[in-house]
Structure 1
Amino acid sequence: MHGHLYIILKESIKYIPIIGQGMMFYGFIFLSRKWEKDKERLQYRLRKLSGTHKGPLSGKESLDPMWLLIFPEGTNLSDNGRAGSKRWAEKNDIPDLRHAMLPRSTGLLYCISELQKNTDWVYDCTVAYEGVPPGEYGQDIFTLRSTYFEGRPPKSVHMHWRRFATKDIPTGDKEFGDWLLKRWREKDDMLEYFQQHNCLPADDGISDQFEGTRPLKGAGRIETYVRPNNPLEFLFVLAPIAAAGLVVNVIVKFWIMILRILRIK
């Protein structure tokens, strides 16, 4: 069971009409990117998510299965994002990346530290979109308008997945920062490979990890098709907030009717 999905996003997104309110309804976590302000809020949400809850039918205390999605870069890839990454590299006297942005370690390290007791693995996903020329960005080419109203979505989306045991991830600030930066340089190399071959590298080798007595083997390359049942399927995510709006509308109209009746009397 995959459970719930919670996403950590920058705070400005929650002010987008309808979409932002929908994300808030689903319990997404919004951060201002100012650690002094964010730490207390993030701590509260993480401890709430990692706590046990009593099942409505069984009455037993248990953990809710969930995924927590975080973008250590803090923002999406763009001209401004690349400029910010370059400034960060110069400030810390480290080489910048070519195809990605340098990650910030504070938020991710805090999440791992808070959830480590109940979390065995951290999954890392590298994403590349077909049809993005060098020096341009997917957000400028594959917009909501081009995807849903002009019928120009990406021809393919490539993902490279890997996982790391939380017990093997360093927890010291510097050690974790170095570990995370190394992972991002590996991701940058994958994106360079994508530029050259129009696909991400496949893992076909045998791992030094075991599942029981069998050594784990890379999954190679898997290709599948993902299509919505209809062009408006993405609107289904807004159904709960729309339903809540209808309920509020009914309540408001009911109270207006009551006030009118009282006024008549």
Structure 2
Amino acid sequence: MLLSAVVHTYSLRYMLPAALMLGSAPTYLLAWGCWRAMSTVFPERLYRKVDDRLYVIYQSMVLFFFQHYTGVQIMLYGELPKKENILYISNHQCTVDWIIADMMAVQQKALGHVRYVLKDGLKYLPLYGWYFSQHGGVYVKRSAKFNEKNMKNKLQSQMKAKTQMYLVIFPEGTRYNPNIPKVISDSQAFAMKEGLPVLKHVLTPRVKATHLAIETMQDYLDAVYDITVAYEGTITPSGQRREAPSMAEFLCKECPRIHIAIDRISVKDIPKEQTFLRRWLHERFENKDRLLTEFYEATDPENRNKFPGEGHIAKLSMKKTVPSLLLLTGVTAGMLCTETGRKVYINTWIYGTLIGCLWVSLKA
């Protein structure tokens, strides 16, 4: 009985935030849908500006839970410049990596401009999959199935509307997970086949999406942000690296601190030809590998669990997250208090999901 109560209490630590975030999704989609219908008579640029503003509201609520609720400490190594059009490349370990991009963007007042290059299968996520595409996200497949034309058209439409860009790419293509050694060994075998140095704490990056983004937007982007993320507490007592926290584990406050190393590279300093860009990108991941090796394996305990240089805490005011939380949960609760509101809410879940899946399938 006692054990059952403890497990139940533990589960509530992530179930309540998850319920509020997921439960607000239909409310958000309805608000966005109304604006999308109204904006058909307005210029595309105006639609995207308001869409970015709406996106800030929802993602601010997400940051309330992932940053304020969890109490996680964000340690930044390197300075973030003023808001600019950027390509964000990072190592990929878990689903929380998506939120890290938000945590970085909010520091630059660019939260609404975050757009992701995502695995193709994620487009079928209920409500979210369709909306991410509408917000400017790009779904891609790996290897020969990669649709370069689709991604290029999507990026060009964003530039045509003069949309501010915070494009997030995880070049590894899949997560680094010590519990799935085959993925790591396959990645290392691919590096050897290509004559590239073998990496230990990251996977061999794939170049197609990064190359296409830089090639298409080279006159639009200001810089590439090379981001290296390490989750504190992912080393076992025996010194073995373990899996990074899932979203549920993170919301259960199992990660006390996140370390983020930032390296800003001007687009002018990046090679454009794919062969040279492949080498450049691999060198960036070699640097990540060195940083993570030092982070996890430093012989001096004082240098372990931190990146070189002086880190500073990224602070986020409650004023930037609580109003969004109150607005979305308040409107959602109001809908659920009436019979008509409940019908609209449920139909949004059902038909929004079905229409969204149909839409992304046809677009593919």
- Same fold by TM (over 0.5)? yes
Kindly indicate whether residue 294 of structure 2 is the aligned counterpart of residue 193 of structure 1: yes
Kindly indicate whether residue 272 of structure 2 is the aligned counterpart of residue 147 of structure 1: no
User: Where do residues 45-194 of structure 1 align in structure 2 (5 Å cutoff)?
Assistant: 45-51=154-160, 53=161, 63-78=162-177, 79=180, 80-133=182-235, 134-138=240-244, 142-148=245-251, 151-194=252-295
Larger radius of gyration: 1
Determine helix, strand or coil for the equivalent of 1:153: coil
* 1:34-70: CA deviation from partner (whole Å, max 9, x where unpaired): 455410110110101111x3xxxxxxxxx22220011
Q: Distance in 2 between matches of 1:97 and 1:158?
A: 20
- The higher relative CO (CA closer than 8 Å, separation ≥ 6) is in 2
With over 3 angstroms needed to count, the CA separation of the structure-2 counterparts of 1:37 and 1:98, relative to structure 1, is: closer
Q: Distance in 2 between matches of 1:77 and 1:147?
A: 17
With over 3 angstroms needed to count, the CA separation of the structure-2 counterparts of 1:96 and 1:122, relative to structure 1, is: same
With over 3 angstroms needed to count, the CA separation of the structure-2 counterparts of 1:81 and 1:129, relative to structure 1, is: same
Q: Distance in 2 between matches of 1:163 and 1:170?
A: 15
Partner of 2:39: none
* 1:142-192: CA deviation from partner (whole Å, max 9, x where unpaired): 2233233xx233110100001111111111222111111111111100001
Q: What percentage of aligned pairs have identical amino acids?
A: 26
Q: Distance in 1 between matches of 2:147 and 2:189?
A: 23
Q: Distance in 2 between matches of 1:36 and 1:143?
A: 28
TM-score, structure 2 normalization: 0.52
* 1:71-111: CA deviation from partner (whole Å, max 9, x where unpaired): 11111112253133123123223331010111111210110
With over 3 angstroms needed to count, the CA separation of the structure-2 counterparts of 1:227 and 1:39, relative to structure 1, is: same
Structure 2: tracts of 5 or more residues without a match: 1-82, 84-109, 299-303, 336-340, 351-364
TM-score, structure 1 normalization: 0.70
> Structure 1 residue runs of 4+, over 6 Å off?
227-230
Kindly indicate whether residue 131 of structure 2 is the aligned counterpart of residue 28 of structure 1: no
Q: Distance in 1 between matches of 2:114 and 2:126?
A: 21
Q: Distance in 1 between matches of 2:294 and 2:344?
A: 50
Once the two structures are TM-superposed, the CA of residue 18 in structure 1 deviates from its matched residue by 4.7
* Aligned amino acid, residue 67 of structure 1: Y
Kindly indicate whether residue 313 of structure 2 is the aligned counterpart of residue 223 of structure 1: yes
Q: Contact between 2:136 and 2:154, CA under 8 Å: does it hold in 1?
A: no
Equivalent pairs, count: 214
Q: Distance in 2 between matches of 1:143 and 1:38?
A: 29
Structure 1: tracts of 5 or more residues without a match: 54-62, 203-219, 253-265
Partner of 2:113: 4
Determine helix, strand or coil for the equivalent of 2:211: helix
Q: Distance in 1 between matches of 2:197 and 2:286?
A: 10
